[in-house]
Chain A
Amino acid sequence: MEPQSKRRKEAESDNADFWVALPVLSDQQSQDTELIPAFAAPITDKKETSRLIKELRSLYPLTGLTHIKRVRSHKSADGLYSPQVLLCLVSDAPDVDLHSESLAIESLLPPDIVRVEGLGLPFLVKIPAFPPLTRPQFQLASKHWPTTFHEDKQVTVALRGELFGGPQKARMQGYMEAALAAARAAAGLGSGQEPVGAAMVDPKEERILAVGHDCRGGNPLHHAVMVCIDLVARGQGGGAYSFEKYPACTAAMSPTSSHSKPAAESSKTIARVVEEGQPYICTGYDLYVTREPCVMCAMALVHSRIGRVFYGTASADGALGTKYKIHTQKDLNHRFDVFKGVLSQQCKDLYGLKDPIKH
């Protein structure tokens, strides 16, 4: 099925287990737990628990904090578990002196609404301000105060680095090797090209559609990703440039399927143009690129409606994780998954090939 698989096995099979593709998540998914101060109090008489919860809810409903559990079971220094209940946020409480030695519970809970029977002395706690989105966030949040957690299993698996395994991982490696080979070819050209390569893949057909490398020696905007996008356009009857003088930049049609595919491909393209009003030619495709794309390239991928992006190593001004996370940017009309770390060592090693003339 894949002519390159044999070559790949011989060349790099040893490295298969030495890389892990990790998801590049949004800030909301990857940030530390933000905490807000609140008052809690021990429940000294468990029989009062449900009444207390009901009365507290009517007084302090904790709007916008539906992820927070009202009661927790707290392990004290002597190893015993006892229930504690959240009274209110500090910001919701009437003016109280936070520095006073003992806080009068009546100042927080008017006796006509909440009977304080069964409640101990109030104390300050910090509770998670937002619902946890990932398992690591959930675990951190739970250290402060228990929350609910609607787990996205795929994210959990991805964060463990276990989303891709076996044959899929081997295929991903093959695609990145194609990008690596292009990057090395670019470095070999001298003349100002950076050692960066990219490969566009149709994951459904398990087929490389285009391989490109950095050509900024010819045009400063011809970064590998831009080259690759134009090569895909060319492969579908469009394209703005000719990269003929760069033999390692190819819009490859796999030899086995070349008779039947172009027709199907072009009708598919038309369908897309029709549906969207614009040729979003990379819909559903995966891009493999040796280093994290810059702002220009990342946004070019948004415009092209890329499916997923896999990169080897981060870059200083990178826009898919380092400086920006354009793939998760709220106001943009297209978002996509990004994974980093595919053949990371080989991708890092490319920096050693940098053209010294350029600097």
Chain B
Amino acid sequence: MGTETEMNGADLKPGFCPTDGEIEKWMASAFDMAKDALENGEVPVGCLMVYNNQVVGKGRNEVNETKNATRHAEMVALDQVLEWCRHGDVDPQSVCMRTVLYVTVEPCIMCAAALRLLHIPVVVYGCGNERFGGCGSVLDVSAAQLPHTGTAFKCVAGYRAQEAVEMLKAFYKQENPNGFLTLILVPLACLWSPSG
């Protein structure tokens, strides 16, 4: 298909940029993931890594189950890309250099640096991340002069931004009463556990 040839043409890295059609298509998937996360009480961030018109990584926040505060959706997705390369026995760098990240919220400073370290050239995101954003909101790691931290990447920001913000708001609204409930319930559970 047309899109595919265009992605293949991206061997020449400088002109590498997804088309409007690709952005619409893949961001729709990312938003579906975010919605799904929200419905399941997870941070509503959807993220997928697309190489050659193929999803080679997708992730959602795994901070709670791993007790590791660095397990953001993008970090999980990047690990999947690396795993995909290992499976297919292809060079990760050559794949990453032609992989686009589609994510509903601006990557944080840590994730932006990780994307650089793996040479991801383009990140398409919905809304900004005022608390942690690494593509300009708090720091601009994506474009900074950091010669020992991989490659700077291009950002395409603002696609369906309002929708992404609304989902985050909905999440934080529902999170607070939740937090209060666990505050009461977990100590109770601890009290009961010795007998059980």
Interface residues of A (CB under 8 A from B): 219-221, 226, 229-230, 233, 236-240, 267, 269-270, 273-275, 277-282, 294-296, 299-300, 302-305, 315-317, 319, 323-324, 326, 329, 331-333
26 A–B contacts, CB within 8 A, in A order = A220-B82, A220-B92, A221-B117, A230-B66, A230-B70, A273-B182, A274-B182, A278-B63, A281-B68, A295-B110, A295-B116, A296-B117, A296-B149, A299-B108, A299-B110, A299-B113, A299-B132, A300-B110, A303-B69, A304-B68, A305-B69, A316-B147, A317-B148, A323-B144, A329-B138, A331-B138
B118 at the A interface (CB under 8 A) = yes
Determine if B67 and A277 form an interchain contact, defined as CB atoms under 8 angstroms apart.
Answer: no
B179 at the A interface (CB under 8 A) = yes
Residues 45-76 (chain B) with a chain A CB within 8 angstroms = 62-71, 75
B178 closest partner in A (C-beta): A277
Determine if B110 and A303 form an interchain contact, defined as CB atoms under 8 angstroms apart.
Answer: yes
Which of B18-26, B159-167, B183-191 makes up part of the contact surface?
Answer: B183-191
Determine if A281 and B69 form an interchain contact, defined as CB atoms under 8 angstroms apart.
Answer: yes
Q: Which residues from B are CB-within-8-Å of A237?
A: 67
Residues 101-149 (chain B) with a chain A CB within 8 angstroms = 108-110, 112-114, 116-118, 130-132, 134, 138-139, 141, 144, 146-149
Determine if A221 and B148 form an interchain contact, defined as CB atoms under 8 angstroms apart.
Answer: no
Picked from A281, A296, A317, the residue with its CB within 8 Å of the CB of B67 is: A281
A239-B149 contact in complex given A219-B82, A221-B75, C-beta closer than 8 Å: no
Determine if B114 and A240 form an interchain contact, defined as CB atoms under 8 angstroms apart.
Answer: no
Min distance, Cβ B188 to any Cβ of chain A, angstroms:
11
Picked from B66, B178, B190, the residue with its CB within 8 Å of the CB of A239 is: B66
Picked from B108, B112, B139, the residue with its CB within 8 Å of the CB of A329 is: B139
Q: Which residues from B are CB-within-8-Å of A226?
A: 70
Q: Which residues from A are CB-within-8-Å of B66?
A: 230, 233, 238-240
Picked from A282, A299, A304, the residue with its CB within 8 Å of the CB of B109 is: A299
Picked from B113, B147, B175, B182, the residue with its CB within 8 Å of the CB of A295 is: B113
| Alpha-carbon distance between A274 and B183 when the two chains are bound, in angstroms | 5
Min distance, Cβ A262 to any Cβ of chain B, angstroms:
14
Q: Which residues from B are CB-within-8-Å of A220?
A: 82, 92, 117-118
Determine if A233 and B182 form an interchain contact, defined as CB atoms under 8 angstroms apart.
Answer: no
| Alpha-carbon distance between A238 and B68 when the two chains are bound, in angstroms | 7
Min distance, Cβ B109 to any Cβ of chain A, angstroms:
4
| Alpha-carbon distance between A294 and B150 when the two chains are bound, in angstroms | 11
Q: Which residues from A are CB-within-8-Å of B78?
A: 221
B11 at the A interface (CB under 8 A) = no
B4 at the A interface (CB under 8 A) = no
Picked from B109, B134, B179, B187, the residue with its CB within 8 Å of the CB of A277 is: B179
Q: Which residues from A are CB-within-8-Å of B69?
A: 229, 278-282, 300, 303-305
| Alpha-carbon distance between A119 and B113 when the two chains are bound, in angstroms | 60
Q: Which residues from B are CB-within-8-Å of A296?
A: 110, 113-114, 117, 149
A303-B70 contact in complex given A220-B117, A277-B179, C-beta closer than 8 Å: yes
* 15 extra A-B contacts, CB within 8 A, seeds A273-B186, A274-B183: A220-B92, A221-B117, A236-B67, A239-B66, A239-B68, A273-B182, A294-B117, A295-B139, A295-B141, A296-B110, A303-B69, A304-B68, A315-B148, A329-B138, A332-B138
Query: Which among A220, A275, A296 has the highest number of chain B CB atoms within 10 Å?
Result: A296
Q: Which residues from A are CB-within-8-Å of B175?
A: 277
Picked from A278, A295, A333, the residue with its CB within 8 Å of the CB of B149 is: A295
B118 closest partner in A (C-beta): A220
B79 at the A interface (CB under 8 A) = yes
Determine if B67 and A279 form an interchain contact, defined as CB atoms under 8 angstroms apart.
Answer: yes
| Alpha-carbon distance between A267 and B112 when the two chains are bound, in angstroms | 34
| Alpha-carbon distance between A287 and B20 when the two chains are bound, in angstroms | 45
Min distance, Cβ B181 to any Cβ of chain A, angstroms:
10
Determine if B64 and A299 form an interchain contact, defined as CB atoms under 8 angstroms apart.
Answer: no
Closest 3 pairs (CB-CB, A-B) = A238-B67, A299-B110, A296-B113
Q: Which residues from B are CB-within-8-Å of A323?
A: 144, 146
Determine if A324 and B139 form an interchain contact, defined as CB atoms under 8 angstroms apart.
Answer: yes
Determine if A240 and B71 form an interchain contact, defined as CB atoms under 8 angstroms apart.
Answer: yes
Q: Which residues from B are CB-within-8-Å of A299?
A: 108-110, 113, 132, 134
